[in-house]
Amino acid sequence: MEFITVHEAEEIILAETRSYGIEQLPIGRASGRVLAGTLRADRDLPPFDRATVDGIAIGAEAVARNIKQFTIKGVQAAGMEPIPLSGPDKCIEIMTGAAVHHSAVAIVRYEDVELDRPNAQLTGSSPLIGQHIHRMGQDKRVNDVVVPAGRIVGPSLMSIAASLGSSYIPVKKLPRVAVITTGSELVHIDDTPSPFQIRRSNDIAIQAALSRYGIYASAIHLSDDYKKMEACLTSCVQDYDVLLLTGGVSMGRFDYVPDVLSTLGVIKKFHKVKQRPGKPLWFGAFQHGPIVFAFPGNPVSVFMCLHRYFIPWLEESLGLNRPAEYAILQNDICFAPPLQYFPQVSVRISRHGLLEALPVRGNGSGDFANLAETNAFMELPLEHSVFRRGNAYRIWKYITH
């Protein structure tokens, strides 16, 4: 047997990352994409001395002499050109977000002022120089990096880009992906299966997971017919950057996938991994060309291989650097086979800030109903067969929505 370990499989896969280039997108269409360049400040942030409260602006001499009584000489709304002070006992009513004129050195909040317009009297403690003024350039100077490359685009990044006037941002281009389900026993969701058939679901799971990254994968179904499979995959390796197949990679007599892929010139990198679920995983690639993941057909195996192998390959290819995650096992687990075991777990956060993983026992890799009760796979080390409650192990959270 030519079984390899999970670690070896991972290394082989991550040696085959690809780069698909960069494109410019309007920020409203970039959610979920990976930023491919830095976002820099187009001017100082804040771009002017900014009032952080509503109140009155006063000058340096007023602060030094502790003047309490002022005459209001103007009202300055946010967005207006700053109004200068015309004397130590003069003040300007100023609104949050307004630009503070350089003749003013402090803002006194309305809460600390008694107003009898045009008179204003300070009622609180003595003002301090600079109070309630957010200084120009205090957060960033013009041209400073505000967001580095390699971040996922989401609400905060989009809002920052908008503030900087970056209505288009550079993002990593995405591979063209085909999801190819195989198996004569699988019928379309809207068809009525015979008593011995089941409906297809792996295509839907994979498409939904990839949409999180902005990838809209094609879905193709093939029955277990060598010639048809060969014809279809011949065109797929020309049209797509990534093929994700499900089924047809085990020892069955109609498991044509590895043979067909070899015929097409896909270089097999490995077949079969010391793991449960997902043992028959097949991986291959053209040199500098399309890459092919052929997952076993069981929904749980597909889900595991997708999260453990394909998503890390995708994120690495896009330049995303997501840190590993660990959780604390809540039950003892015994697992004797010489395979790396990936139990399905339900991860939750305790009141004490611990990530707790409760294994939820399914009936093997065919029990897809169990996916609804769990939210991660836990990766238990190959070297051991007993895993104790209280130990932390790596987890692979399911992509949600």
Please answer whether residues 365 and 278 qualify as being in contact, where contact means their C-beta atoms are separated by less than 8 angstroms. Answer: yes
Nearer to a second copy, 62 or 83 (CB): 83
Q: CB–CB of 98/79 below 8 Å?
A: yes
CB of 337 vs a second copy, minimal distance in Å: 13
Instruction: Provide the residue type at 347 as one letter.
Output: V
Q: Measured from the CB atom, is 66 or 363 closer to a second copy?
A: 363
- Among 354, 342, 358, 353, smallest CA distance to 394 is for 342
Nearer to a second copy, 18 or 40 (CB): 40
Q: Which of 308, 252, 254, 260 is nearest to 280 (CA)?
A: 252
Handedness of CA 20, 21, 23, 29 (dihedral sign): positive
Least distance to a second copy from the beta carbon of 315, Å?
13
Nearer to a second copy by C-beta: 140 or 173?
Answer: 140
* Degrees to nearest 5, angle at CA 327 with 315 and 365: 70
Distances in whole angstroms, Cα of residue 60 to Cα of each of 65, 87, 133: 9, 10, 13
Given a contact cutoff of 8 angstroms between Cβ atoms, the answer to whether 173 and 34 are in contact is: no
Amino acid (one-letter) located at 153: V
CA distance 300 to 19: 29
Least Å distance between CB 129 and a second copy?
17
Our CB check for a second copy shows the closer of 288 and 351 to be 351
Minimum distance of a second copy from residue 15's CB (angstroms)? 25
- Measured from the CB of residue 14, what is the shortest distance to a second copy in angstroms? 20
Parallel/antiparallel/unpaired status of strands 344-349 and 119-122: unpaired
Nearer to a second copy, 242 or 285 (CB): 242
CA distance 294 to 175: 17
Return the bridge partners of 379, or none: 394
Smallest distance from a second copy to CB 287, Å:
32
- To a second copy, the closest distance from the beta carbon of 385 in angstroms equals 19
d(CA 61, CA 228): 88
Q: Which lies closer to a second copy via its Cβ, residue 232 or residue 371? A: 371
